[in-house]
Amino acid sequence: MSAEDIIQKAFVDFKENEIALLSGFAAEEQVVLDMLIGLKKNIRVITLDTGRLFQETHNTMQASADKYGVKIEVFAPESLDIKKLIEEKGPNSFYESVENRKQCCHIRKVLPLQKAFQGIRAVFTGLRKEQSPERENISAEEFDENRNVHKINPLYDWKTNMIWHYIKDNKVPYNKLHDKNFLSIGCMPCTRPVLEGENIRSGRWWWEDETHKECGIHR
């Protein structure tokens, strides 16, 4: 099926109020948003503001709201959880160990996501096979047993050049950090540009081992 067909099928399988786009305003998620609007779908857009995002990410969020007229639902970590983490381990504990980094991701991303998913049965994502070895086996639709939610991946088999052709052809707002070789964009302290020959997600948590570079949201 085409990406549009995958989207249309999801709206047959799930009620409109049960489905949302989970977006960090990456290039892929912007393409999915543009497709949803083009298909005249009323879609909830949910995002996580970890408190450490790039300004360029906020700029993309604003540009998306302005262009598409969508209300973006923002979910953030609990301030007391952040306060406790910083007081106990400092503001940069995530650099010290994988365990510490995953704890930070859990507080800033995973816990807010649990709130975001309340009442939702399915979410659109921008996941693609090409993004990392951990994602090479994804399909158009998957079921997340831990969160009891279906993940709809319309672009699962798209190549990077297809993403950028779509963005240029349809004048889709995108994060300008992509122009500086930030291929996968997360929190500011945990993201750097990708170097020549590296895979797409190499700029995320670059001080860690190359395998299993996930925050707990998707894998």
pLDDT tens per residue across span 93-143: 999 999 999 999 999 999 999 999 999 999 999 999 988 777 888 999 999
Q: What is the pLDDT of residues 50-68, one digit of tens each?
A: 999 999 999 999 999 999 9
pTM of the model: 0.91
Active site residue 215: yes
> Where residue 198 falls among pLDDT bands split at 50, 70, 90?
confident
Instruction: State percent of the chain over pLDDT 70.
Output: 95
Task: Compute the Cα dihedral for 201, 207, 210, 214 and give only its sign.
Answer: negative
Paired strand residues for 21:
45, 124
- Of 104, 105, 190, 215, catalytic: 215
What distance lies between CA 49 and its chain's CA centroid?
11
pLDDT of residue 135: 81
Average pLDDT, the chain: 93
Structural domains of the chain ordered from first start: 3-190 (3.40.50.620)
Query: Residue 50 carries which side chain, given as an amino acid letter?
Result: T
Distances (CA, A) of 13 to 88, 149, 200: 46, 13, 32
Closest CA to 53 of 82, 25, 29, 87: 25
